[in-house]
Amino acid sequence: MFRLSSRSFALAALTLIACGSDDGAADKDTQSATAPTNPPGSSGGGGGSSGSSGGGSDSGTPVKPASTAVRFIAMGDTGTGSNDQLKIGNTIAAKCKASGCDFVTLLGDNLYDSGASSVDDPIWQEKFETPYAAVNLDFYAVLGNHDYGAGGAGTDFGKAKNEIDYTKKSTKWKMPAAYYHFTKANVELFALDTNMALFSQAGQQKTDVTAWLAASKAEWKIALGHHPYKSNGPHGNAGSYDGIPIPPVNGKSVKSFMDDVVCGKADVYFSGHDHSQQWLNESCKGTELAVSGAGAKTTELKGNNPSLFQSLELGFLYVVIDGKKLTAEFIDENGVVEFTHVITKP
């Protein structure tokens, strides 16, 4: 059936994926293999972030309720600049005002269609600052394939640096490195660069994240990445993304990275890439899996992985971690809770 050479087929597949405004990936060791020593937002030696644990000191920032709980938003595939993105931003602002939030996590594809050309690119205002003007919180972001350019093929490796560098310019954007970690109370979050893994350039990342997870004393360990381990969306499962039979675009190296580094080490892995909301009823070695890629648009659900919940409504995850209890709510564009999942540790 396949008459193209492996190299030709891979290039064709990358082009095909990019056309879906939804696929591809990339990275380069020299740029993002290692995080800076104790970067802003990194756990470094003692945790913390570049902003306050309450999400900054801006006037009008929602006041965190009197509790030791950690509350945050998780969503991906946001950077369209559309009315739908703006609506989700306003819904998040209302939810955080009512229930309290410490920060937001963005799960990649932050700036469609090909990332930012510089820290001064007008795309930042159109597709990040304006849609989230009402949300006075820190946004901890990971890189997606569209952030690496080439229309989503993710092969313009240098573009990732523009998103890292924007951290120094923005009051709310937080990306101290292509991959990094940070701590909030009893929760440590590990922001991954799955694009590097997709192209088998994750050697240093594998070493670093393995060490970070092993050294973590946090009660809860949460991994954040763009590409899913399993998904019922059109991209599907790592190792067979988009039904393409050859690496790198099939995500075989993403699966290997997850199997070796994250699965069984983190409590939950939140991802995007597929534009839907899913909580899978399968784990990877005990690590629970959720897809929250409906922050600005949705596609379809056609896979058959067992799931506790899946939806094509626009929306986001609202996560509350209080002591040994994690409560995750999928919330739609109108602020309605569609699904609640609770994980309780002994």
pLDDT bin (cut points 50, 70, 90) of residue 27 is very low
| Pairing label, strands 268-271, 220-224 | parallel
In the structure encoding, which two tokens stand for residue 334, read together? 């109108």
Amino acid identity of residue 173, one-letter, is: W
Q: How far is CA 165 from CA 103, 134, 174, 229, 336, in A?
A: 20, 23, 9, 28, 36
The predicted model scores a pTM of 0.83
- Tens digits of per-residue pLDDT, 46-99? 333 333 333 333 334 554 455 689 999 999 999 999 999 999 999 999 999 999
Between CA 194 and CA 224 the distance in angstroms is: 9
Residue 9 contacts by C-beta under 8 Å, 6 or more apart in sequence?
2, 246
CATH numbers and ranges of domains, the chain: 30-344 (3.60.21.10)
Name the region of 283 (left: φ>0; alpha: ψ -120 to 50; beta: rest): beta
What is the CA 330 to chain-centroid distance, rounded? 15
Closest alpha carbon to 166 in 19, 41, 344: 41
- Tens digits of per-residue pLDDT, 93-132? 999 999 999 999 999 999 999 999 999 999 999 999 999 9
Give the helix ranges, DSSP H, for 43-106: 83-99
| 13 close to 244: Cβ distance less than 8 angstroms | yes
